């Protein structure tokens, strides 16, 4: 074989070996490049998903505009607040920043702008800040708007102001009386008035001091209820017996107006798990109001019954009644149907609000119905003892913590009963505890109200 043939053969063999290898290396390089692109895209997608998840989990609205003032991103909270988010920052300021001065402040060059916005029943706080979007050199500027719903805070502030104004008014009235009568006695009354007139003045001063004392006591109780600081000394209670006892205590007040109080039992299931003092305060308020707003010779009927899982006490009178437009406001603090200022019916205007708060603490409610000239009907609903205790037991078996004061008291009672019946130290199961609850509830009912 000639040298030339040897060279050609060597080149052919080399080409046959190197070209496939180079093709293989090229395919491998393209595959790795493709995989890098896929991984990069996946990383970008994951980061975007994480960012969206973070934005969605925030309880404040977030709206981001880029350096070209175009919308970059917004979270669901912001969309819920505003509906459609404007595509540009100027459009957003035109729509939501005109009346509150936000747009003017922006065009005057303010870096950070904070304003409030009222939208229907919502009160929003908007903060617009200039931010650098991106990292390193060449950052470009954009704006981020945060939106916080402070409607509850605003309403609480308004209620606080109204509450302070009402308290000031309620205290000022008796204080003015005490001051004027005292000044009269000190200036000339003691020397010039007879004994009976002086006694009448002192009685008026004493009555107004009692009124202030009652008002302060009610205010302290309301403050305790608002802060969830009022403890519940809850036990199994026969609601029918409590109704009887409260009615008996108010008989003299009713007889003074020749009003008859009738009690009717519509059920034998009258056991509730409640604070006796709190329940009796609710009942006293409802029956006292019925007596107060019923004319001489009137009639008050009190029914004890059950519906589904609730026990109810219904107080019906044939008194002056309440107009429908007033009915929805009677549970507001210091609200009075009688606006003449005559104080003909007495009271601090806090009785029903306190009764409603106490009912809610027991997971109950009060429903009012009335018609002018046809009397009123107030119904207290409380969870039946068996239902409340068994629901609490089931929650405990699921390792759920009691949610409020009444279920905490119920849980404590169940634990105490379990300790009483453990005997040899064996742990009781749920079925055994359910039987214990039924037995305790049955034994708590001692009286059936009837007339």
Residue 326 region, left (φ>0) first, then alpha (ψ -120 to 50), else beta? alpha
- Tell me 99's DSSP state: T
Q: Does residue 395 lie in a domain region?
A: yes
CATH code at position 210: 1.10.287.130
Query: Which of these three, 129, 149, 169, is where a domain ends?
Result: 149
Give the separation between CA 243 and CA 360, rounded to whole angstroms. 19
- Tell me 88's DSSP state: B
Looking at the chain, the whole-number percentage of residues with pLDDT higher than 70 is 78
- Tell me 85's DSSP state: P
Cα–Cα distances (Å) from 410 to 228, 278, 437, in that order, read 17, 16, 11
- Tell me 167's DSSP state: H
Judge if 253 and 270 occupy the same domain: yes
Judge if 69 and 162 occupy the same domain: no
Looking at the chain, the whole-number percentage of residues with pLDDT higher than 90 is 39
Q: Does residue 402 lie in a domain region?
A: yes
Q: What's the pLDDT tens digit per position in 271-325?
A: 999 999 999 999 999 999 999 999 999 999 999 999 999 999 999 999 999 888 8
* DSSP string for 206-264: HHHHHHHHHHHHHHHHHHHHHTT-----EEEEEHHHHHHHHHHHTHHHHHTTT-EEEEE
Q: Does residue 25 lie in a domain region?
A: no
Q: How many domains in the chain?
A: 4
**Cα-flanking dihedrals φ and ψ of residue 61, to 5°?**
-80, 140
The ranges of the chain with pLDDT < 50 are 136-138, 340-342, 424-426, 449
Q: Is 140 helix (H, G, I), strand (E, B) or coil?
A: strand
**Cα-flanking dihedrals φ and ψ of residue 328, to 5°?**
-75, -10
Give the separation between CA 330 and CA 225, rounded to whole angstroms. 19
Judge if 249 and 357 occupy the same domain: yes
Of 317, 373, 319, 314, nearest to 345 by C-alpha is 319
Judge if 290 and 378 occupy the same domain: yes
Judge if 132 and 261 occupy the same domain: no
Longest dimension (CA), the chain: 158
- Which two three-digit tokens encode residue 307? 């519906």
What's the domain range around 398? Answer: 386-444
Judge if 270 and 370 occupy the same domain: yes
Judge if 274 and 368 occupy the same domain: yes
Cα–Cα distances (Å) from 271 to 242, 307, 434, in that order, read 10, 13, 16
Q: What is the mean pLDDT of the chain?
A: 82
Give the separation between CA 51 and CA 43, rounded to whole angstroms. 12
Judge if 77 and 193 occupy the same domain: no
Judge if 339 and 392 occupy the same domain: no
């Amino acid at each position: 074989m000639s040298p030339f043939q040897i060279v050609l053969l060597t080149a052919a063999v080399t080409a046959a070996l190197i070209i496939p290898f180079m093709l293989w290396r090229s395919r491998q390089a393209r595959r790795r490049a493709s995989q890098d692109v896929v991984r990069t895209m996946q990383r970008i997608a994951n980061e975007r998903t994480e960012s969206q998840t973070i934005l969605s989990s925030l309880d404040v609205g977030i709206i981001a505009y880029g350096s070209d003032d175009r919308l970059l991103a917004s979270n669901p909270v912001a969309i819920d607040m505003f509906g459609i988010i404007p595509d540009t920052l100027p459009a957003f300021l035109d729509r939501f920043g005109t009346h509150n001065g936000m747009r003017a402040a922006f065009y005057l060059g303010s870096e950070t702008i904070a304003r409030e916005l009222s939208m229907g029943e919502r009160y929003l706080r908007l903060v617009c800040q200039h931010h650098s979007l991106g990292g390193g050199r060449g950052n470009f500027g954009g704006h981020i708007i945060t939106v916080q719903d402070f409607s509850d805070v605003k309403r609480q502030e308004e209620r606080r102001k109204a509450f302070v104004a009402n308290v000031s008014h309620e205290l000022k009235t008796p204080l003015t009386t005490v001051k004027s009568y005292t000044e009269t006695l000190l200036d000339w009354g003691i020397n010039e008035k007879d004994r009976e007139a002086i006694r009448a003045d002192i009685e008026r001063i004493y009555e107004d001091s009692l009124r202030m004392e009652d008002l302060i006591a009610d205010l302290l109780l309301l403050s305790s209820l608002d802060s969830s600081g009022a403890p519940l000394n809850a036990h199994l209670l026969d609601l029918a017996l409590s109704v009887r006892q409260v009615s008996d205590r108010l008989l003299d007040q009713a007889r003074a107006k020749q009003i008859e109080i009738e009690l009717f039992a519509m059920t034998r299931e009258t056991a509730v798990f409640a604070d006796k003092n709190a329940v009796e305060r609710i009942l006293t308020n409802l029956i006292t109001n019925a007596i107060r707003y019923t004319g001489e010779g009137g009639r008050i009927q009190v029914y004890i019954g059950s519906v589904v899982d609730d026990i109810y006490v219904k107080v019906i009178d044939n008194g002056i009644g309440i107009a429908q437009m007033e009915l929805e406001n009677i549970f507001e603090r210091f609200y009075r149907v009688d606006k003449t200022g005559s104080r003909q019916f007495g009271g601090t205007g806090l009785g029903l609000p306190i009764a409603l708060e106490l009912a809610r603490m027991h997971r109950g409610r009060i429903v009012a119905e009335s018609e002018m000239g046809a009397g009123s009907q107030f119904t207290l609903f409380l969870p039946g003892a068996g239902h409340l205790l068994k629901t609490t037991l089931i929650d405990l078996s699921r390792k759920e913590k009691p949610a409020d004061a009444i279920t905490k008291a119920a849980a404590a009672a169940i634990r105490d009963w379990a300790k009483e019946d453990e005997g040899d130290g064996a742990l009781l199961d749920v079925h055994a505890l359910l039987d214990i609850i039924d037995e305790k509830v049955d034994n708590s009912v001692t009286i059936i109200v009837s007339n």
